[in-house]
């Protein structure tokens, strides 16, 4: 069994890697790489003014260092550059500027072509995002592009992108190409999380502990949404303000879901505290979204608080890692969940800290650290796919095992039809309904003489043959052996004519059985009753069966008299 589990893990990981490689391959085909050659990225030759300070002919690196400073509210950065291409040859010429809690005004040859001064409460406010500025008219080489950027709250969160100019479609394709790795990761997070969530909702009644998979699916979707907003992809489709609200709401809720995952996975001493914190963070995330939408608060003001909670969740995970992996020797599925979740939270925390608080240092511009989130997300996805495959295979195995146990518990060993326990369960189900049915009570005649004359083996065969006859004749209806030689058939949604037809088929089948084995007399008395012919206070399976059983014994007595008269005639002859 252990070898089989390891084989499942290896196959699941291999499948994940192949699937993700195919996804990345085809996602790379979605962008036009030649578009980058038609887009101008201003890297050198910038003239920069910050308040009263001037910097001439700055390189792209020097401009980034200047823009990454911690500005005070109201500081103005003015950058200018000479156009090096002819926009008259473009269908939709535009300039791309990355906004980081600023608003900007764009000029060409001193003429204002764009002003992004968003009002929020009583203060100017702008969310981070990509800003596409359409260039009206025709401007030729040598025209001067000037951008005035005003800091609103003193925060610039990451190294800004080079300012681009070109045709709108080419600029858009260039962004997709430059950010293809995080873009593919976030899309895959949302897609796979959505698929897992749908499967969880469909399978929720059938599997135990599926809430762990449900929380994992929610965490992937929420973090994927956060990633699309944090990398500004969402601003390509929605407004920066909406993207900013979605960014913080999804992040705050995702951290709450992390606590719920820890609570569901592990039996720790602070279990109820983790659950309370998890649901509390989700509720706060929703409330903060509502309050921001009515312009009461700014969600970004609570960002540091959530980073602390996320770091605390990471520390809890690390402690549990040590205990589960090295002390308690956890199972493979728990280990995969632990390692992937811990790695993901570590990379997520590292990405948030690096991009938010270390932008002034070389550490903040390190390409490895700025890709922490996508790398952690890939590990988490692979871990969840592997764990999901193992979870489903184990759950299906347990379900099959439970079905086998149920079949054993509700099947008669000798005749292989339903037994008395199954009949009791069926009775409760029918009593919960308000529908008519017919119960046919059977009692085999002459079983004792068969045992006495031919042995108990022949008696067992007679019982099995009779059960097989019932199952064949009354196919589609419920058949059960409820005693030694007592059987019952329940016909739902059947009228008197249908019952009479099936009883005639039964008599014909019994005649054929006796013709095949003339030495053994196969015969059974029967009687039937409908639920709706019972008094209103006795319309239960038990009372209906007693009435059918009463009719069966009346028929048995009549048959005994007939047999006795037949025997007397044979003696006289």
What is each CA distance from 341 to 9, 55, 313, 381, in whole angstroms?
A: 17, 46, 11, 9
pLDDT (average), residues 172-180: 77
Give residue 121's pLDDT band: very low, low, confident or very high (50, 70, 90).
very low
pLDDT (average), residues 34-58: 75
What was the pLDDT predicted at 123?
41
Residue 375's CB is within 10 A of a number of other CB atoms, namely 18
* Least confident range of 104-113, 136-145, 204-213: 204-213
Residue 478 β-bridge partners: 490
CA distance 84 to 181: 30
Give residue 508's pLDDT band: very low, low, confident or very high (50, 70, 90).
very high
Name residue, tokens 């008259």: 88
CA distance 288 to 252: 9
| Residues 264 and 209 sit within 8 Å (Cβ to Cβ) | yes
Give residue 528's pLDDT band: very low, low, confident or very high (50, 70, 90).
very high
* Least confident range of 305-319, 441-455, 548-562: 305-319
What was the pLDDT predicted at 438?
95
Q: Give residue 166's region: left, alpha or beta (phi > 0; psi -120 to 50).
A: left
pLDDT (average), residues 195-206: 75
| Residues 439 and 489 sit within 8 Å (Cβ to Cβ) | yes
Instruction: Decide if pLDDT at 270 tops 60.
Output: yes
Residue 55 β-bridge partners: 48
* Residue 158: closest CA among 363, 387, 302: 363
pLDDT (average), residues 430-437: 91
Residue 74 dihedral angles phi and psi, to the nearest 5°: 95, -10
Instruction: Give the percent of the chain with pLDDT over 70.
Output: 75
CA 305 to chain centre: 29
Instruction: Decide if pLDDT at 491 tops 90.
Output: yes
pLDDT (average), residues 230-247: 77
What is each CA distance from 35 to 31, 165, 174, 495, in whole angstroms?
A: 9, 12, 6, 76
Give residue 115's pLDDT band: very low, low, confident or very high (50, 70, 90).
confident
Sign of the alpha-carbon torsion through 393, 394, 398, 401: positive
Residue with the larger pLDDT of the pair 73 and 401: 73
Instruction: Decide if pLDDT at 236 tops 80.
Output: no
Residue 536 dihedral angles phi and psi, to the nearest 5°: -55, -30
What was the pLDDT predicted at 248?
84
Pairing of strands 93-99, 129-134: antiparallel
What count of Cα atoms within 13 Å lies in the side-chain half-sphere of residue 520? 26
Neighbouring residues of 530: CB distance < 8 A, sequence distance ≥ 6: 436, 437, 438, 496, 544
What was the pLDDT predicted at 361?
40
* Least confident range of 119-123, 283-287, 550-554: 119-123
Based on its alpha-carbon atoms, the radius of gyration of the chain, rounded to whole angstroms, reads 39
Name residue, tokens 């007592």: 486
Instruction: Decide if pLDDT at 155 tops 70.
Output: no
Instruction: For 293-347, write each residue's pLDDT tens digit.
Output: 877 777 777 777 878 888 888 888 888 878 777 777 767 767 777 788 888 888 8
Instruction: For 349-384, write each residue's pLDDT tens digit.
Output: 877 776 665 544 443 344 555 567 777 877 887 777
| Residues 403 and 449 sit within 8 Å (Cβ to Cβ) | no
pLDDT (average), residues 466-495: 93
> What DSSP string describes 399-450?
HHHHHHHHHHHTB-TTT-SB-HHHHHHHHHHHHTS---EEEEEEEEESHHHH
Residue 105's CB is within 10 A of a number of other CB atoms, namely 18
Give residue 142's pLDDT band: very low, low, confident or very high (50, 70, 90).
confident
CA 301 to chain centre: 31
What is each CA distance from 64 to 60, 80, 94, 233, 490, in whole angstroms?
A: 6, 14, 21, 21, 82
Token pair in block for residue 33: 């790489």
Give residue 157's pLDDT band: very low, low, confident or very high (50, 70, 90).
very low
DSSP state, residue 128 = S
Residue with the larger pLDDT of the pair 30 and 143: 143
Token pair in block for residue 375: 């790398």
CA distance 312 to 305: 11
Residue with the larger pLDDT of the pair 171 and 396: 171
CA distance 419 to 402: 18
Instruction: Give the percent of the chain with pLDDT over 90.
Output: 16
Q: Whole-number mean pLDDT of the chain?
A: 77
Give residue 189's pLDDT band: very low, low, confident or very high (50, 70, 90).
confident
With vertex at residue 161, the alpha carbon angle to CA 301 and CA 25, rounded to the nearest 5 degrees, is 105
Residue with the larger pLDDT of the pair 247 and 301: 247
Type and span of the H or E element at 390: helix 372-409
What was the pLDDT predicted at 190?
87
Give residue 272's pLDDT band: very low, low, confident or very high (50, 70, 90).
confident
Residue with the larger pLDDT of the pair 8 and 526: 526
Order of all β-strands in the sheet with 129-134 = 40-41, 164-167, 93-99, 129-134
Q: Which residues of 502-523 are buried (b: 16+ CB within 10 A; e: fewer)?
A: bbeebeebbeebeeeeeebebe
Instruction: Decide if pLDDT at 536 tops 70.
Output: yes
| Residues 437 and 430 sit within 8 Å (Cβ to Cβ) | yes
What was the pLDDT predicted at 522?
85
Name residue, tokens 């049915």: 437
- Whole-structure pTM over 0.85, yes or no? no
Instruction: Decide if pLDDT at 439 tops 70.
Output: yes
pLDDT (average), residues 61-66: 67
Residue 193's CB is within 10 A of a number of other CB atoms, namely 22
Q: Is 514 helix (H, G, I), strand (E, B) or coil?
A: helix
* Least confident range of 7-11, 209-213, 458-462: 7-11
What is each CA distance from 363 to 61, 78, 329, 368, in whole angstroms?
A: 15, 27, 37, 10
Q: Is 247 helix (H, G, I), strand (E, B) or coil?
A: helix
Longest Cα separation, the chain: 138
Give residue 436's pLDDT band: very low, low, confident or very high (50, 70, 90).
very high
pLDDT (average), residues 60-78: 68
What was the pLDDT predicted at 158?
47
């Amino acid at each position: 069994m252990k070898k089989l589990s390891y084989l499942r893990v290896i196959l699941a990981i291999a499948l994940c890697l192949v699937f993700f490689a195919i996804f990345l391959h085809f996602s790379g085909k979605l962008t036009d790489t030649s578009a980058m050659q038609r887009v101008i990225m201003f890297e050198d030759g910038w003239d920069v003014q910050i308040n009263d300070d001037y910097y001439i002919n700055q390189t792209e690196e020097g401009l980034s260092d200047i823009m990454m400073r911690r500005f005070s509210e109201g500081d103005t950065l003015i950058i200018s550059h000479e156009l090096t291409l002819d926009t008259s040859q473009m269908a939709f010429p535009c300039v791309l500027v990355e906004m980081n809690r600023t608003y900007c005004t764009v000029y060409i040859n001193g003429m204002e072509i764009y002003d992004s001064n968003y009002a929020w409460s009583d203060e100017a406010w702008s969310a981070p995002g990509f800003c596409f500025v359409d260039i009206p008219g025709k401007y030729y080489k040598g025209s001067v592009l000037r951008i005035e950027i005003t800091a609103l709250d003193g925060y610039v969160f990451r190294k800004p992108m080079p300012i681009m100019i070109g045709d709108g479609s080419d600029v858009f394709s260039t962004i997709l190409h430059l950010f293809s790795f995080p873009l593919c990761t976030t899309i895959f997070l949302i897609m796979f999380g959505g698929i897992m969530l749908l499967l969880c909702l469909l399978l929720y009644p059938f599997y135990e502990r599926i809430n762990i998979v449900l929380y994992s699916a929610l965490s992937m979707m929420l973090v994927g949404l956060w990633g699309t907003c944090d990398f500004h992809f969402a601003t390509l489709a929605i407004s920066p303000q909406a993207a900013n609200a979605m960014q913080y709401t999804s992040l705050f809720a995702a951290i709450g879901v992390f606590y719920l995952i820890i609570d569901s996975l592990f039996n720790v001493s602070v279990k109820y505290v983790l659950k309370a914190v998890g649901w509390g963070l989700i509720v706060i995330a929703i409330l903060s979204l509502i309050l921001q939408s009515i312009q009461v608060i700014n969600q970004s003001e609570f960002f540091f608080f959530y980073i602390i909670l996320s770091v605390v969740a990471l520390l809890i995970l690390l402690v549990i890692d040590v205990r589960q992996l090295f002390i308690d020797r956890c199972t493979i599925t728990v280990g995969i969940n632990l390692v992937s979740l811990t790695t993901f939270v570590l990379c997520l925390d590292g990405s948030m800290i690096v991009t938010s608080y270390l932008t002034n240092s070389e550490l903040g511009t390190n390409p490895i650290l700025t890709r922490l989130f996508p790398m952690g997300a890939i590990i988490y996805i692979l871990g969840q796919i592997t764990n999901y495959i193992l979870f489903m295979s184990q759950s299906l195995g347990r379900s099959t095992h439970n079905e086998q146990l149920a079949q054993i518990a509700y099947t008669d060993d000798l005749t292989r039809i339903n037994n008395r326990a199954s009949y009791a369960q069926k009775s409760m189900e029918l009593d919960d309904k308000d529908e008519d049915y017919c119960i046919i009570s059977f009692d085999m005649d002459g079983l004792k003489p068969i045992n006495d004359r031919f042995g108990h083996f022949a008696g067992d065969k007679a019982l099995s043959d009779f059960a097989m006859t019932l199952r064949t004749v009354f196919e589609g209806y419920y058949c059960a052996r409820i005693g030694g030689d007592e059987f019952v058939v329940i016909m739902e949604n059947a009228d008197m004519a249908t019952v009479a037809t099936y009883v005639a088929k039964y008599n014909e089948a019994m005649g054929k059985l006796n013709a095949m084995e003339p030495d053994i007399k196969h015969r059974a008395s029967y009687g039937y009753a409908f639920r709706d012919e019972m008094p209103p206070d006795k319309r239960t399976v038990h009372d209906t069966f007693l009435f059918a059983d009463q009719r069966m014994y009346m028929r048995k007595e009549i048959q005994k008299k007939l047999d006795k008269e037949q025997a007397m005639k044979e003696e006289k002859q």
